[in-house]
Amino acid sequence: MAIAFTIIVIISIIVFILTIIDNTFLFTNIRKYFILPLLDLGFWAAFIFLFLMVLQSLIAPIPSELVLLSGAMIFGFWWGVILGIIGSMLSAAITYYVSNRGGRSILEATGEKIGLADRMISIMDEWIENWGFWAIVIGRAVPVIMFDPVSYAAGISNIKPKHYYIATLIGSVPRAIFYAYLGYSMLDGNKPSFLETLPQDQFESVSKQFNTIFFVIFGVLVLMLVFANILSYLREKRKENKAK
């Protein structure tokens, strides 16, 4: 996990530096290699989007928040919301299944391969144990809480699958709406095809908005990881002191 996390941090620093040098760098590449190719696929773009939602939860070090954000830029607000909810449910179902069937040993092995924050999962595990249904609802609904650790933690908890899926659905709706709104706001009221022929001044404006949203989201996620590690460390210290 440490190696994968280090790689992600190094890549993020490089992207940050390149974005400072050229403030259109990040959006240029997202638009060129992700948004425009999906816009060209028409009907099939929805399936690729859902596939990416599932993929990022398993092996790709890509925040689901970034995929959700881009969804509204590709499909518009309402379709961005609908596909965001469906994608969230699919990724939540698969990660829950992996965790539930494999147990803690498989979860730890999977976490090492995909770079998940195991301490974040540990915090979520305890949270779900204490609060059950509502812990999952809040974990889904609050945009700054990492999405996938909630699924993995739920899989090793005692919560019933029916309650897990209902809580996931309830929490996924406001989360999808939030990120769809952010993505759609960058279209400035235009259709997604507007992104194909952006004038230079508007391109720079959208790039700045995208940079701001992306780095705020990424920064909050990093802070959540740091907070989870500190909290987990303090909890382990308390256990050690009690054992003495």
Q: What is the torsional sign of CA 216, 55, 86, 164?
A: negative
Reply yes or no on whether the pLDDT at 153 is more than 90.
no
pLDDT, tens only, 136-149 = 888 888 887 777 77
Model confidence band, residue 70 (pLDDT cutoffs 50, 70, 90): confident
In the predicted model, what is the mean pLDDT of the chain?
A: 78
Model confidence band, residue 113 (pLDDT cutoffs 50, 70, 90): very low
* Section 46-73 average pLDDT: 82
Instruction: Report the range of poorest mean pLDDT among 141-145, 164-168, 175-179.
Output: 141-145
**Predicted local distance difference test score (pLDDT) of residue 192:** 81
Quote the DSSP letter at residue 43: G
Where are the domains positioned within the chain? 2-243
Instruction: Report the range of poorest mean pLDDT among 10-24, 103-117, 207-221.
Output: 103-117
Model confidence band, residue 194 (pLDDT cutoffs 50, 70, 90): confident
**Between 89 and 115, the higher pLDDT residue:** 89
**pTM given for the model:** 0.78
